[in-house]
């Protein structure tokens, strides 16, 4: 039986249009609150006028629709080719509020657009950066982001009409909203759990309306179809002090978005196929590039950056419908909703305590997601020290207790944001750790038959230096030979000047061998998976080679990126 036997439609397959439209509408209904509330909270917290909030929401919906289309597509190196819905990124709330307060909507637009370009740098160097920008580093930045947004939430919870100042009805609305989201999210089963945020917001708003906190006059006056009250703010291209002070924080959060989209893209690939396939890291790069292009569009339109919503990945897994048509319909619905001012007015009428409670629950989930990212893979002592120190440095700067007053003026805004200072600290320390792990057991040779002799010498010298016995040395040598034969067997790599970079590292009681070379179509993980159905009695030579490799190595990973292939083997020192 296949690992996703329940899957009804793979990405390339075409369900009926009515079914795809219905699925797209369902996902849009689930994520609409998050898309619209993030820019609304940013505008309210920065005390912007209603017209600015209306434009931020309008631009966020248009950008989300266009970005969802980019994700569904494969336009060169942009797009994942899978159903991945996109919306406003709550991680940017704190820095977006600061940008609005210091330079207005035009500064926010410029920062959102320019920081989005970081994603293309990330994907271009993914094979190298994967040792520094690890999920643990991303998790620390995500946790610090939640801490930096918290003060915005505390103020929002108390933003009510004058008649309700210091009224016990305000915390009642807050706790009712949180309780609904928590109870449904924690105890509901199936599709109902995915609706928890929306149900919580509707329930809290209904209670607030019953208590008289909601002003619906603007909702009644808003048209069903039309343009928002506000106008495009333009771009601030003066690149003043405020821009350079805030750019590192925006860039840092964009990098975290890259790591989150990296994980979401791998997840959606695993859930969108009936039969298991090796992860296509070129599609992962495409998903991250689409995120960057979408955030650039959001910035040019004048709103906060966006990111992939994991909810859409969960819906694909639950419904078994992974067809791209769902994404095309969903993106269309998001764009059409942007031209419905009544929807924007309805969200704008949401009382502060309800909006604050919703954002608080999102921060709780983001903080938890950060913890999960930190603990996703076992950390060495050095890596754990790096990411934990990064967290506490960021927390100290965020609270203003780490000698902030001694910083020069230009650095106060830059480093007083915990997301920036903590993230930079974690990355710098991880870079130092990776330098410490650099190995002398490496070589670079032309990818040709003559490379075999050089690789054998390197491997045997490495095994002897570690004191491995003859059996373990032979096992490592044989695995290295068979993997190299696989690389040599592909004519696409037999171009003159193609280099092979070989690195050997010790990982506990195992050896990690890494081949880095030019890309080709074949994937050794896929070939190894195909051995399950191949009869051994009539094995051709290439299958015998693959069976030997599978027997010698305890782990084989073939990571194929645009421009680079990384083949990684793990071989134990014990039988």
Q: Which CATH number belongs to the domain containing residue 490 in this structure?
A: 3.30.565.10
Specify whether 29 is located in the same domain as 62.
Answer: yes
For residues 531 and 426, membership in a common domain is answered with no
pLDDT band at 1 (very low <50, low <70, confident <90, very high): very low
Strand duo 510-517 + 564-572: pairing: antiparallel
The pLDDT of residue 68 is above 60? yes
Compute the average pLDDT of residues 298-315.
Answer: 85
Whether residue 225 is found in the same domain as residue 111: yes
Residue 174 lies in a domain: no
Which of these ranges, 390-404, 421-435, 510-524, 535-549, has the smallest mean pLDDT? 535-549
Q: What percent of the chain has pLDDT over 90?
A: 17
Task: List pLDDT tens digits, range 141-154.
Answer: 778 877 877 787 88
**CA nearest to 91, candidates 289, 255, 242:** 255
Per the domain annotation, does 185 fall within a domain? Answer: no
Residue 371 lies in a domain: no
Q: Indicate whether 11 belongs to any domain.
A: no
What does pLDDT average to over the chain? 83
Q: Is 208 a domain residue?
A: no
Provide, rounded to the nearest whole percent, the portion of the chain with pLDDT above 70: 92
Helix (H) or strand (E) holding 399: helix 381-399
- pLDDT tens column, 222-279: 788 888 887 889 899 888 888 988 898 898 888 878 877 887 788 788 778 888 788 7
Domain annotation covers residue 528: yes
pLDDT tens digits, one per residue of 552-569: 888 888 888 888 888 888
Task: Tell me, yes or no, whether 156 and 276 share the same domain.
Answer: yes
Last residue of a domain, one of 324, 352, 380: 352
pLDDT at site 542: 63
Q: Is residue 266 part of a domain?
A: yes
C-alpha dist (Å) from residue 463 to 356, 436, 476, 490, 514: 59, 20, 8, 28, 15
Of 303, 324, 352, the domain-final residue: 352
The answer to the question of residue 132 being in a domain is yes
pLDDT tens digits, 125-139: 888 777 777 778 877
For residues 410 and 520, state if they share a domain.
Answer: no
| Count of domains for the chain | 3
Name the most confidently modeled range: 83-92, 109-118, 436-445. Answer: 109-118
> Is the dihedral angle over the CA atoms 96, 101, 105, 108 positive or is it negative?
negative
- Asked if residue 496 has pLDDT above 70, the reply is no
Q: Whole-angstrom Cα distance, residue 553 to residue 573?
A: 10
* Rounded-to-integer distance, Cα 352 and Cα 331, Å: 29
Same domain, yes or no: 447 and 430: no
54 and 101 inside one domain: yes
Q: How confident is the model at residue 409 (pLDDT cuts 50, 70, 90)?
A: low
410 and 450, same domain (yes or no): no
The reported pLDDT for the residue numbered 116 is: 94
Neighbours of 276 (CB within 10 A): 14
Residues 518 and 493 in one domain: yes
Question: What would the pLDDT profile of 8-49 be if each residue is shown by its tens digit?
Answer: 888 888 888 988 888 888 788 777 877 888 898 899 888 888
Q: Single out the residue in 294, 324, 352 at which a domain terminates.
A: 352
Is 305:249 a contact under the CB 8 Å cutoff?
no
| pLDDT classification of 104: cutoffs 50, 70, 90 | very high
Q: pLDDT band at residue 495, thresholds of 50, 70 and 90? A: low
- Of 254, 282, 278, whose CA–CA distance to 80 is shortest? 282
**Domain span at 486:** 442-572
Residues 251 and 281 in one domain: yes
Q: How confident is the model at residue 414 (pLDDT cuts 50, 70, 90)?
A: low
For 315-351, the pLDDT digits (tens) are 777 677 888 999 999 999 999 999 988 887 777 777 8
* Spatial contact of 79 and 73, defined as CB atoms under 8 Å apart: yes
């Amino acid at each position: 039986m296949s690992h996703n036997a329940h899957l009804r439609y793979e990405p390339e397959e075409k369900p009926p249009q009515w079914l795809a439209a219905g699925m797209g509408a369902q996902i849009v209904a689930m994520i609409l609150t998050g898309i619209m509330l993030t820019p609304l909270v940013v505008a309210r917290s920065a005390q912007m006028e209603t017209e600015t909030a209306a434009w931020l929401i309008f631009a966020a919906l248009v950008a989300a629709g266009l970005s969802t289309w980019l994700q569904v597509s494969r336009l060169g190196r942009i797009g994942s080719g899978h159903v991945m819905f996109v919306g406003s990124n709550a991680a940017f709330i704190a820095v977006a509020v600061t940008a609005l307060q210091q330079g207005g909507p035009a500064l926010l637009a410029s920062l959102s657009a320019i920081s989005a370009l970081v994603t293309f740098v990330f994907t271009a160097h993914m094979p190298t950066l994967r040792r520094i920008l690890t999920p643990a580093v991303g998790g620390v930045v995500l946790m610090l982001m939640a801490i930096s947004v918290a003060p915005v939430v505390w103020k929002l919870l108390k933003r009510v009409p004058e008649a309700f100042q210091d009224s016990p009805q305000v915390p009642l609305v807050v706790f009712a909203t949180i309780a609904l989201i928590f109870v449904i999210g924690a105890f509901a089963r199936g599709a109902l759990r995915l609706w928890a945020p929306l149900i919580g917001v509707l329930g809290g708003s209904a209670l607030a309306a019953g208590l008289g906190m909601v002003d619906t006059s603007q909702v009644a006056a808003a048209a069903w179809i039309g343009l928002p009250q506000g106008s495009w703010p333009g771009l601030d291209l003066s690149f003043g002090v405020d821009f350079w002070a805030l750019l590192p924080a925006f860039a840092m959060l964009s990098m975290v978005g890259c790591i989150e989209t990296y994980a979401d893209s791998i997840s959606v690939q695993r859930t969108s196929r009936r039969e298991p396939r090796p992860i296509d890291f070129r599609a992962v790069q495409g998903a991250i590039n689409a995120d960057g292009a979408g955030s650039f569009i959001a910035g040019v339109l004048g709103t906060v950056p966006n990111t992939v919503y994991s909810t859409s990945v969960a819906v694909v897994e639950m419904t078994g419908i992974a067809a791209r048509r769902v994404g095309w319909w969903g993106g269309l619905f998001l764009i059409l909703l942007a031209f419905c001012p009544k929807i924007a007015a309805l969200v704008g009428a949401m009382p502060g305590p309800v909006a604050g409670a919703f954002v608080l629950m999102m921060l709780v989930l983001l903080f938890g997601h950060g913890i999960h990212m930190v603990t996703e893979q076992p950390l060495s002592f050095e890596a754990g020290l790096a990411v934990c120190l990064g967290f506490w440095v960021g927390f100290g700067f965020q609270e203003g207790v780490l000698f902030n007053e001694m910083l020069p003026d230009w650095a106060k805004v830059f480093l007083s944001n915990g997301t920036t200072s903590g993230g930079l600290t974690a990355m710098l320390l991880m870079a130092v750790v990776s330098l410490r792990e650099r190995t002398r057991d490496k070589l670079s040779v032309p990818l040709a038959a003559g490379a075999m002799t050089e690789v054998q010498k390197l491997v045997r010298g490495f095994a002897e230096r570690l004191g491995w016995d003859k059996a373990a040395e032979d096992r490592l040598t044989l695995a290295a030979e068979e993997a190299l034969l696989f690389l040599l067997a592909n004519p696409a790599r037999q171009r003159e000047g193609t280099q092979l970079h070989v690195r050997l590292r010790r990982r506990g009681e195992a050896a990690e061998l890494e081949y880095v070379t030019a890309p080709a179509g074949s994937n050794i993980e896929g070939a190894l998976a195909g051995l399950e159905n191949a009869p051994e009695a009539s094995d051709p030579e290439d299958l015998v080679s693959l069976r030997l490799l599978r027997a010698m190595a305890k782990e084989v990973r073939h990571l194929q990126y645009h421009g680079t292939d990384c083949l990684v083997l793990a071989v134990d020192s014990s039988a």
